[in-house]
Structure 1
Amino acid sequence: MSDTSTSDTSNRDASVSAPGAPGLPPSWASSDKDYVTTALNGASRVWATVGHGVVNEVYWPSTGQPQIRDLGFYLVSETGWIDLKRVREYSLSTPKPYLPLPTVLHQGPGYTLALEILPDPHRDVLLIRYSLSGAYRLVVVLSPHLTATGQDNAAWVGEQALLASRGDRSLALAANVPMSALSAGYVGTSDGWQDLQQHGRLTWSYPRAENGNVALSAELQGDAGLIALGFAETVQGAQGLVRASLAEGDEPARRSFLERWEAWGSTLKLGGSTQEMQDQALLSATVLKIHEDRAYPGALVASLSVPWGASTDSLGGYHLVWPRDTTLAAFALLAANQREDARRVLAGFIANQQPDGHWFQNYYPDGGMFWNGVQLDETAFPVLLAAKLREEGESELGGTEAMVRRALAFVARTGPTSEQDRWEENRGVNPFTLAVAISALVAGADWLEEDERRYALDLADDWNERLESFCYVTGTPLAAELGVEGYYVRLAPPDRDGALTGQVELQNRQGETILASALVSLDFSYVPRLGLRSATDPRILNTLKVVDHLLRVETPSGALYHRYNNDGYGEHDDGSPYDGHGIGRLWPLLSGERGHLALQAGEDPMPYLEAMLKCASPGGLLPEQVWDSAPIPERGLYPGRPSGSAMPLLWAHSEFLKLLLARETGRPAELLRVVEERYARPLPAQVRHWRPAAPLAHLESGLLLMVEGEGPFTLHFGFDGWQSAQDRDALPLPFGLWGVAFSAADLHSHQTLNFTRLTQAGWEGQEHAVRLGSAREEALSHQNQSGHQNQPGHQGQSGGE
């Protein structure tokens, strides 16, 4: 039961609830957003989204907590009613690209409605100034989703106010003009939309609706006025905030709002060859700024939206912190000279790192876990951010050294395999993840003690030299078809001992699999982006030819790319929403990745910037995905235009901004000098690190071999078919690892090393063999070829026994 002690039901019978409980199953609004906004600094903790010309989710008291589904606007007259979000005859404008004060102008036969959407900088209130012309009256319908769900909400009518509550979250809506026909109902049965649908106007006056998916409605008297939607822990608090905002009026709030944004945005110097590019750069920087939490500074959620929200009531959505997305946004902020913002991001990482060194797959702005998967790149990325800040001459934050050491310890212990790749779907060795991990080991080495530093750099050199043996295939039918020697695969999926499994399961495709050697992506683009290979390396150029052949689609917006072939994360053929499976669509951010490759190869990336720009919403927001098939107008799907996926996507805005600025500077924001200089020329490794996820088929002459494990073990080994069998106990290594070392002298005159391991759990039950004495080129070439034949069951990674 909700607290109604402060409400007045205006002489209605408060015990009479609306019919139709609990209402239809709840859902969020469409993620097809027009705009997002928030006040800058100040006391306000409100973030508002706009979609289809109306207010969608409003987030409070942090970016991780949406509290309404939407606030819809309808026009009624003596002859009928108009649902503005379905008509969609509107435009959106702001005073400047970096002043997020949107005005939505709805225009149609006989009417014009202007809505100015203004977060009050001083209170947790959203103000909406409306002006209506024509023979219509304005109706509002509000759908609470308090505590981030549409279930078990309570709504009721107060004295000239609409009120709702669930747990410790409450809201109030009021206006500075009289409201009539106030009512609370259940969605789908007794809500305001149903009333309009049945009667053409509001006729119901239900005083309350509890324990369900509820909605509140009212008609506003007058052609112009101010609406206030406020949030607090109690109904009394929400009403007080709304009344105070209305009493003060919107002019002081507007003035303060614009002054703070102007002081920030007027300092931005982002460039751009055209006014349109300049405006989009400013808007992208503003979108990044908007997504930072004020309750938890430094927390940047991936998107203030829920993908395919109109079909789900799931918690989380994209209003969560992904360490990868957040770090890439921080690099964009640094490129835009927003150093304090990037420092707050790093401070947030220091605060939320787990004791073993990794970060949760994603988490709420307060640090609370949502998904608990482990992605190695998300552990390595904060190290790159710390190194970038140091390279830029920023003073070091307290706790940076401890954070870096813990993160690199986790990378060293668990790499090169990642439990999940960057698309959060598969376990294995991935070129994107591995490139980030190698770069972190190098960039973070100066924070380590001497023995740790030496180990980290040896490990980075080993993984870097073997990168192709992990992720580059040759001799496949696809290579032959396209006339290339080989290409980087998306993923090399090892079994428990690193041998090939043959197939990769395609997530979201109902159990379908594909040969790993046939699965490609743009994941390799970070290999040159981070300075591990030249963008003109033949292997990079070979892969580009394959990717452009398989994943590139020419659309009315320009050249866009799929994540990988046979992706299942997207709408179905008929345009119906993704529901756990579907067909992957085109990702504009990947055009940014392709543009970075072009830039590093000496080409002009402008065509890729233009393609991204043309994918934007009416308000300039960049989506996660765009449609890639024939138009489906009834679903609002058109080639090269936003689909039902997340919009805005912080990652996409970051990629656009970084590419535009890299076009000016000539180098990617993520390219660290310490990594670039180390691998400017081939750097032969001195040590080979054998571990189950990264075994060796051949060991080159003259190298030290380290057989490693994550705990103590005894190595039982022999040579050339188990001759001279003996045991050695593993010794402690840096980062909590254990290992048995074989020097070049130990292995001299032998052809094969045979071994198995005894751990505290017993014998591992598998024998291993490493052929000895090959020349470096021969060994790496063999590893590159191993497992790359065309028979079923062979693909993508070498080094199998």
Structure 2
Amino acid sequence: MTSSPPRDLSDHKLPSENPPAEDTPTHGLAPGAPGLPPTWASSDKDFVTTALGGASRLWVTGGHGALNEVYWPSTGQPQIRDLTFYLIGESGWVDLARARRYVFSMPGPYLPLPTILHWGEDYELSLEVLPDPTRDVLLVRYALTGPYRLAMVLAPHLTSTGHGNAAWVEGQRLLAVSGDRALALLAGGPMTHLSAGYVGFSDGWQDLHAHGRLTWAYERAENGNVALSAELVEPSGLLALGFAESVQGAQGLARASLAEGDEPARRAFLHAWEDWGSALRLGGSSPELEAEAVLSATVLKIHEDRTYPGALVASLSIPWGNHTDTLGGYHLVWPRDATLAAFALIACHQRGDARRVLAGFIANQQPDGHWFQNYYPDGQPFWHGIQLDETAFPVLLAAKLREEGEPELEGTRDMVRRALAFVARTGPTSDQDRWEENPGVNPFTLAVAIAALVAGAGWLEEDERHYALGLADDWNERLESCCYVTDTPLSRELGVEGYYVRLAPPTRDGALTGEVMLQNREGKTVEASALVSLDFSYLPRLGLRSARDPRIRGTVRVVDHLLAEETPTGTFYHRYNDDGYGEHDDGSPYDGHGCGRLWPLLTGERGHLALQAGEDPAPYLDALLRCSSPGGLLPEQVWNGPPLPECGLFPGRPNGSAMPLLWAHAEFLKLLRASQTGRPAELLREVEERYAEPLPAEVRHWRPAAPVPQLEPGLLLLIEDAQPFTLHSGFDGWQDVRERAALPLPFGLWGVSFSPADLEGHHRLNFTRRSEAGWEGQDHVIRLGQDTPRTSLPARSGG
């Protein structure tokens, strides 16, 4: 049983400046249309839950002692803002969400059947939150003791918005509809003072605020931000909130659940979760760590869609939701987050769950091989950005399942081939990095792409396989030339030779120069060589470098100096220096810019680095445990400013960002399992073995996004592009000019090759290209010769 500290009150309704006048009729059509601008509930959640098996397609969230968004018929579609409860007595009324005196409990960490217990000097209210496994109905068992009557206010956001909803009262039924989405709230006992109104003007909270009790009986509120309210006559009973495509269907489902009662639903709910969770064997150095691990696995399972199995949304929450009505939130599938969660499920021996994630990727891959930046569970895109790691990650998941001995899913080979073709055509640059902000070459993205080319090569035809492995070797050997700097003011200050940067801008001529725009800092820029992050941590994680490599260790020192912050709950990390994604210093919410806060998942990444370097990961696990919510949920960010109790912000505690964040729970699980097995979940043996010893590349792949300033002796040079071209070339200042037509390569690429013999005796290769659109308008130079040093080969990747 856990208690909740005081948190942000700003998601609750404020008194209207224009309440209904004393002589305004309190029945018929409610006044105040269309209501205040709608928002979602706070992302500060106490719990998330859903029923397994059966026909239910309903997900429930709760925070601040109330019920928040209910998602139906998939995890991508929230249908209410909240369902809140109030006590009405002779001497006044109690707003339970503001009183914040409650505890909540569950029967076990993998039995997500929440009970919320509100308490005061003269009352106790128990609320058991039970999704009916057989219907799209939420059941709430309530029991009140004390000299009060129980009232409730329901805020529909049907079709995932607070705009354009209609709500009305029909007998003992509270009903709402918008488009093809409808809900019905029924009680097992009698209700009184049923009313429909507009939020901020004629809703139940305004009635309570104005009169200390419910007095209004408005029959209908149309086309606006609406709310339904009622008083429950009996001190204990059962509520049923049903959802369907029609009002008739919603109230029919609610009635059926009330008729059958909550006992059969409770038994079925617990049985299904017991059947799934009893097989979990996660371990932990303490009961608290083990309980958090089981809860984390359960949170991952809860976020899987059942209308579209295998779709794992990033979070059943909307960051800073109490200040926005955005349609997206985090209830979308990000291929990166979903893959990393699937790796955590595999680590928990839940391979069937991970197989469904892969099946979902096979179903939603785009014809050219990539996946949308994010999409609703049904595959409809939300944002359309291109992130190369999100194309490569599903390949790693397929390879991991193969390594685990899982039977291959139909369509895997075609999926892998198309994904690797996209990686080969468009890499090593990416339109967006993993933080969805900047183009360029990023060590995280590039590491995932290299690992995918190696791990997926077994599904390719012979010529494609040879090309993919050669490209991976080239990118791996040149990784430092793209993403590593030496002799900078920062390296000299900290006494390290160099460090990996967050990003190499795409507009460069083979050197790490230029500025990077910080997307959340109103156009501020910073030199690429001065911008660092933990993105390099996936170089050891995926087996491309050793955690003991001096370059890795030097970057760890830089990151610990620049990005780490101590808090009362542990050490956490910024995404990168000068980040702007987070609340402003005064506690006001992120609004397109702000001040970057600390990310617990990055503490997990730092813990993996420590583990692979032979250090103890326990402090990092403990920090993740201590920063979790009272219910054990892990946030996207924690606050790192001075305490702001009026905003619910405390150092080392969750801020207003997404919670729970699947990526954070997955990172915790994987770090815990890695501390037991000695190896990261993402470390594939095929990649590890290929780069266990230095592996010189045989080919240099020149392309506009990855120029080759100088070519070492003995290497084949391949000048390539994604479209046909004619190469106009010469040597040593355009001597011996020739033209050659590019020949087709694997994956839809075109290229012109130069063997070492072709280049022998020359010092420079000069060239430009002509395509159907004409000359490219730029001359290129590659330095040649025996005096050109070979790029420093990567250190051994092993432990």
The answer to whether structure 1 residue 73 and structure 2 residue 88 are counterparts is no
The answer to whether structure 1 residue 567 and structure 2 residue 579 are counterparts is yes
How far the C-alpha of 1:115 sits from its partner, in A, is 0.7
- Letter matched to residue 373 of structure 1: G
Deviates more, 1:337-346 or 1:497-506: 497-506
* Residue matched to 1:755: 767
Tell me, yes or no, if the aligned pair for 1:301 and 1:365 is still in contact at 8 Å: yes
Q: How far apart, in 1, do the equivalents of 2:704 and 2:365 lie?
A: 27
What is the percent sequence identity of the aligned residues? 76
Q: How far apart, in 2, do the equivalents of 1:694 and 1:458 lie?
A: 15
Runs of 4+ in 1 over 3 A off after TM superposition: 496-501
| 1:134-182 deviation line (CA, Å, top 9, x unaligned) | 1111110000000000000000001211100000000000111111100
Matches within 5 A, 1:486-635: 486-495=498-507, 502-635=514-647
Tell me, yes or no, if the aligned pair for 1:494 and 1:501 is still in contact at 8 Å: no
Q: How far apart, in 2, do the equivalents of 1:514 and 1:183 lie?
A: 56
| 1:669-725 deviation line (CA, Å, top 9, x unaligned) | 000000000000110000000001110111000100000111100110100111111
Q: How far apart, in 2, do the equivalents of 1:167 and 1:243 lie?
A: 22
Q: How far apart, in 1, do the equivalents of 2:58 and 2:138 lie?
A: 7
Q: How far apart, in 2, do the equivalents of 1:24 and 1:500 lie?
A: 50
* Residue matched to 2:190: 178
How far the C-alpha of 1:15 sits from its partner, in A, is 9.2
Secondary structure, in 3 states, of the residue corresponding to 2:785? strand
Tell me, yes or no, if the aligned pair for 2:567 and 2:652 is still in contact at 8 Å: yes
Q: How far apart, in 2, do the equivalents of 1:178 and 1:774 lie?
A: 91
* Residue matched to 1:47: 59
| 1:417-466 deviation line (CA, Å, top 9, x unaligned) | 00000000000000000000000000000100000000000000000000
| 1:72-115 deviation line (CA, Å, top 9, x unaligned) | 11111111111111221111110010000001111112111111
Q: How far apart, in 1, do the equivalents of 2:190 and 2:27 lie?
A: 24
The answer to whether structure 1 residue 157 and structure 2 residue 189 are counterparts is no
| 1:490-523 deviation line (CA, Å, top 9, x unaligned) | 0001228666561100011101011111100000
Secondary structure, in 3 states, of the residue corresponding to 1:363? coil
The answer to whether structure 1 residue 780 and structure 2 residue 791 are counterparts is yes
| 1:611-638 deviation line (CA, Å, top 9, x unaligned) | 0111111111100001001000001000
- Letter matched to residue 143 of structure 2: S
Secondary structure, in 3 states, of the residue corresponding to 2:430? coil
Secondary structure, in 3 states, of the residue corresponding to 2:791? helix
Tell me, yes or no, if the aligned pair for 2:196 and 2:228 is still in contact at 8 Å: yes
Q: How far apart, in 2, do the equivalents of 1:499 and 1:711 lie?
A: 25
Matches within 5 A, 1:277-288: 277-288=289-300
In the superposition, relative to structure 1, how do residues 80 and 457 fare at CA in structure 2: closer, same or farther (>3 Å)?
same
* Residue matched to 1:219: 231
Tell me, yes or no, if the aligned pair for 1:39 and 1:121 is still in contact at 8 Å: yes
Q: How far apart, in 1, do the equivalents of 2:44 and 2:266 lie?
A: 26
Q: How far apart, in 2, do the equivalents of 1:126 and 1:195 lie?
A: 26
Matches within 5 A, 1:318-329: 318-329=330-341
Secondary structure, in 3 states, of the residue corresponding to 1:647? coil
Tell me, yes or no, if the aligned pair for 1:357 and 1:406 is still in contact at 8 Å: yes
2:730 to 718, 724, 731: 718
1:205 to 199, 203, 217: 217
Q: How far apart, in 1, do the equivalents of 2:112 and 2:54 lie?
A: 15
In the superposition, relative to structure 1, how do residues 725 and 667 fare at CA in structure 2: closer, same or farther (>3 Å)?
same
Matches within 5 A, 1:341-360: 341-360=353-372
Q: How far apart, in 2, do the equivalents of 1:34 and 1:403 lie?
A: 38
| 1:561-618 deviation line (CA, Å, top 9, x unaligned) | 1100111111001010101111110010000000000111111101101101111111
- Letter matched to residue 426 of structure 2: T
* Residue matched to 1:195: 207
Tell me, yes or no, if the aligned pair for 1:52 and 1:88 is still in contact at 8 Å: yes
How far the C-alpha of 1:120 sits from its partner, in A, is 0.3
The answer to whether structure 1 residue 735 and structure 2 residue 747 are counterparts is yes
Matches within 5 A, 1:55-94: 55-94=67-106
The answer to whether structure 1 residue 313 and structure 2 residue 325 are counterparts is yes
* Residue matched to 1:245: 257
Q: How far apart, in 1, do the equivalents of 2:628 and 2:117 lie?
A: 19
Secondary structure, in 3 states, of the residue corresponding to 1:126? strand
How far the C-alpha of 1:780 sits from its partner, in A, is 2.4
Deviates more, 1:499-508 or 1:468-477: 499-508
Secondary structure, in 3 states, of the residue corresponding to 1:409? helix
**Runs of 5+ consecutive residues of structure 1 not aligned to the other structure:** 1-12, 784-801
**Runs of 5+ consecutive residues of structure 2 not aligned to the other structure:** 1-24, 795-799
Secondary structure, in 3 states, of the residue corresponding to 1:347? helix
* Residue matched to 2:22: none
Matches within 5 A, 1:230-379: 230-379=242-391
Q: How far apart, in 2, do the equivalents of 1:16 and 1:180 lie?
A: 16
Q: How far apart, in 2, do the equivalents of 1:547 and 1:60 lie?
A: 42
2:413 to 398, 401, 417: 401
Q: How far apart, in 2, do the equivalents of 1:153 and 1:103 lie?
A: 30
In the superposition, relative to structure 1, how do residues 522 and 496 fare at CA in structure 2: closer, same or farther (>3 Å)?
closer
Matches within 5 A, 1:661-700: 661-700=673-712
Q: How far apart, in 1, do the equivalents of 2:254 and 2:202 lie?
A: 26
- Letter matched to residue 741 of structure 2: D
In the superposition, relative to structure 1, how do residues 14 and 452 fare at CA in structure 2: closer, same or farther (>3 Å)?
farther
- Letter matched to residue 571 of structure 2: A
- Letter matched to residue 33 of structure 2: A
2:449 to 437, 444, 467: 437
The CA RMSD measured in Å over matched residues stands at 1.5
* Residue matched to 2:4: none
The TM-score, its normalising length taken from structure 1, stands at 0.95
Secondary structure, in 3 states, of the residue corresponding to 2:766? strand
* Residue matched to 1:450: 462
- Letter matched to residue 608 of structure 2: H
Q: How far apart, in 1, do the equivalents of 2:469 and 2:652 lie?
A: 44
Q: How far apart, in 1, do the equivalents of 2:466 and 2:263 lie?
A: 62
How far the C-alpha of 1:474 sits from its partner, in A, is 0.5
Secondary structure, in 3 states, of the residue corresponding to 1:96? coil
* Residue matched to 1:467: 479
The answer to whether structure 1 residue 128 and structure 2 residue 159 are counterparts is no
Q: How far apart, in 2, do the equivalents of 1:651 and 1:542 lie?
A: 26
Tell me, yes or no, if the aligned pair for 1:60 and 1:231 is still in contact at 8 Å: yes
Q: How far apart, in 2, do the equivalents of 1:551 and 1:15 lie?
A: 58
Tell me, yes or no, if the aligned pair for 2:694 and 2:793 is still in contact at 8 Å: no
| 1:208-249 deviation line (CA, Å, top 9, x unaligned) | 000000000001112111111110000000000111111111
Q: How far apart, in 2, do the equivalents of 1:381 and 1:449 lie?
A: 21
In the superposition, relative to structure 1, how do residues 39 and 119 fare at CA in structure 2: closer, same or farther (>3 Å)?
same
Tell me, yes or no, if the aligned pair for 2:27 and 2:217 is still in contact at 8 Å: no
* Residue matched to 1:5: none
* Residue matched to 1:648: 660
- Letter matched to residue 320 of structure 1: L
Secondary structure, in 3 states, of the residue corresponding to 2:727? strand
Q: How far apart, in 2, do the equivalents of 1:467 and 1:695 lie?
A: 13
Tell me, yes or no, if the aligned pair for 1:699 and 1:774 is still in contact at 8 Å: no
Q: How far apart, in 1, do the equivalents of 2:509 and 2:500 lie?
A: 22
Q: How far apart, in 2, do the equivalents of 1:368 and 1:321 lie?
A: 10
Q: How far apart, in 2, do the equivalents of 1:15 and 1:137 lie?
A: 22
2:392 to 377, 380, 384: 380
Deviates more, 1:501-510 or 1:471-480: 501-510
Tell me, yes or no, if the aligned pair for 1:698 and 1:774 is still in contact at 8 Å: no
Tell me, yes or no, if the aligned pair for 1:494 and 1:500 is still in contact at 8 Å: no
Q: How far apart, in 1, do the equivalents of 2:356 and 2:498 lie?
A: 42
In the superposition, relative to structure 1, how do residues 501 and 538 fare at CA in structure 2: closer, same or farther (>3 Å)?
closer
* Residue matched to 1:765: 777
Secondary structure, in 3 states, of the residue corresponding to 1:211? strand
